């Protein structure tokens, strides 16, 4: 008897290019001037129930998550984008009980000749 594999495809809820000013960087001047970071977040999530009920309680409330991330980032003062990304990922996973997150953090204009520089993590 062949076993049946159920391939449960998940939808994705995302937030793209959330811009927040914060203290970030390793140089002395970066510790004194707020710089803009850009944040993208993706949350795999089965949206079927929310679509059926049309209720915010059955989905990921991206407005509430955005507000929490903005507050967290504004109040932070990390040296590395890696540390900031881990902090954001932990906040979102712990506080909002999302199953997983794909997170991109970048500093637009941080590197001469490049549009931006950053990292992408999956947690």
**Is 107 annotated as catalytic?**
yes
What residues contact residue 94 under an 8 Å CB cut-off, 6+ apart? none
Catalytic position from the list 34, 63, 107, 115: 107
What residues contact residue 88 under an 8 Å CB cut-off, 6+ apart? 39, 41, 69, 72, 73, 103, 105
Q: State how far the Cα of 8 lies from the Cα of 71, in Å rounded to an integer.
A: 34
Residues catalogued as catalytic: 107
């Amino acid at each position: 008897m062949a076993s049946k594999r159920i391939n449960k495809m998940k939808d994705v809820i995302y937030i793209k290019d959330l811009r927040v000013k914060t203290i970030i960087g390793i140089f002395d001047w970066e510790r004194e001037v707020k710089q803009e970071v850009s944040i993208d977040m993706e949350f795999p999530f089965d949206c079927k129930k929310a679509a059926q009920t049309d209720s915010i309680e059955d989905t990921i409330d991206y407005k509430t998550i955005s507000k929490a991330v903005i507050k967290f980032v504004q109040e932070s003062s990390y040296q590395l984008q890696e540390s900031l990304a881990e902090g954001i990922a932990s906040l979102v996973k712990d506080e909002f009980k999302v199953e997983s997150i794909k997170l991109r953090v970048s500093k637009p204009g941080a590197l001469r000749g490049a549009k931006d520089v950053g990292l992408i993590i999956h947690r």
